Amino acid sequence: MWNPSKKTRTITSKILFVIFSLASLFHIFALLQIIPYQYLWGGRLQSIEEMYLMESISLIANVFFVYCSYLYLQYMNNGLVPIWIRIIFGFISAVFFMNTIGNIVAVTNLETLLATPITAVLSVISFTLVLKYENQTS
């Protein structure tokens, strides 16, 4: 069975940290209405109020994902990643897999063409952090 190396997991954790941080900024821009709500959530939002609710949830989730990426790296550097953090990354991977499907059927071409590959990659690389990791001393 494939078991990513510490180097692969370190790179993955850092990539996720950066992407989730940038996504958090994107959601802040959306909440500030710098990005029009018609381009968000597959073009399915009906009002500013709905946008505020959905983007607030997205921002909270992304900040949580940033924190989890940071925690993963800290645990890995200490030699053992606990199962609960790996379960969280399994959840994150599943969320981005479902998001990829949603992006494929989005009303806006921008979301389909831009967000689909991003969420697909996030799903795959998040999954690499689900597998058990113990620091090998050999």
**Residues 46/107, Cβ–Cβ less than 8 Å:** no
Query: pLDDT tens digits for 4-56?
Result: 888 888 899 999 999 999 999 999 999 999 988 887 887 788 899 999 999 99
Q: What is the pLDDT of residue 138?
A: 40
Residue 109 has which token pair?
Answer: 């071409």
Q: How confident is the model at residue 134 (pLDDT cuts 50, 70, 90)?
A: low
More confident residue, 43 or 71: 71
Tokens standing for residue 111 = 């979301």
Amino acid 97: pLDDT = 96
Beta carbons of 103 and 119 less than 8 angstroms apart? yes
Q: What is the pLDDT of residue 86?
A: 92
pTM of the model: 0.83
